[in-house]
Homo-oligomer: A and B are copies of this chain.
Amino acid sequence: MLDSKALDAIFRAARTHNAFSGTVDDARLRELYELMKWGPTTMNTQPGRIVFVRTKEGKEKLRPALSPGNLDKTMAAPVTAILAYDLQFYENLPRTFPHRPDAIKGFQGEEKKVANEKVAFRNASLQGAYFIVAARALDLDTGPMSGFDNAKVDAAFFPDGLWKSNFLCNLGKGDPAKIFARSPRLTFEEACRLA
């Protein structure tokens, strides 16, 4: 079992941050991916994709898509990750799910598109959560955000239409003075049932 300090770092004391400073070099982003990649996905599909936006040019490309409340903090953050998913994720299955070489067939064909997008969205969201936890485990503060225009991000970053944005996440050293009061969580009785 993880010790109390580790449980605090990834869940109990970790907070969503609103102001970021510091630098996050590319080696650290690679380290983050190399940790989060181990989280499980359906049939090892791994549909999650990430664009790490960390240049002035990249941030300007992101700017028009940001909601007013997320604008300044995102432009100022050392890195903003676009958590996305690849609609053709299943093309990798012959290599990534080798014990069932024909698994790819279950995803091929126009009529599978809607079901495939659901697999991609669910599993890329799982991977988005692995990303948040892995970042915290590596002492990177996170600021995940849904407040942006997905269509604008997709048009600017994924013009070929193959990747779709899911959510954004700022990364860096968070300023504890700029955190909101922690909002309450549902009780066990509200969220869980025993059967």
Which chain A residues have a beta carbon within 8 Å of chain B's beta carbons? Answer: 1-3, 6-7, 9-12, 14, 16, 26, 29-30, 33-40, 42-44, 46, 48-55, 57-58, 61, 92, 95-99, 119, 121-123, 125-130, 132-134, 137-139, 142, 144, 146, 157, 166-167, 180-181, 183-186, 188, 190-195
**Contact flag A39-B6 (CB < 8 Å), given A125-B122, A185-B96, A195-B53:** no
Q: Given the complex of chains A and B, what is the CA–CA distance between A37 and B66 in angstroms? A: 28
Does the CB pair A194–B54 fall under 8 Å?
A: yes
Closest B residue, CB atoms, query A33: B188
Give the contacting residue for A194; candidates B52, B92, B195; CB below 8 A.
B52
Does the CB pair B2–A137 fall under 8 Å?
A: yes
Q: Given the complex of chains A and B, what is the CA–CA distance between A122 and B10 in angstroms? A: 20
Taking CB atoms, residues of chain B closer than 8 Å to A33 are 188, 191-192
Does the CB pair B11–A38 fall under 8 Å?
A: yes
Does the CB pair B184–A96 fall under 8 Å?
A: yes
Taking CB atoms, residues of chain B closer than 8 Å to A137 are 1-2, 6-7, 10-11
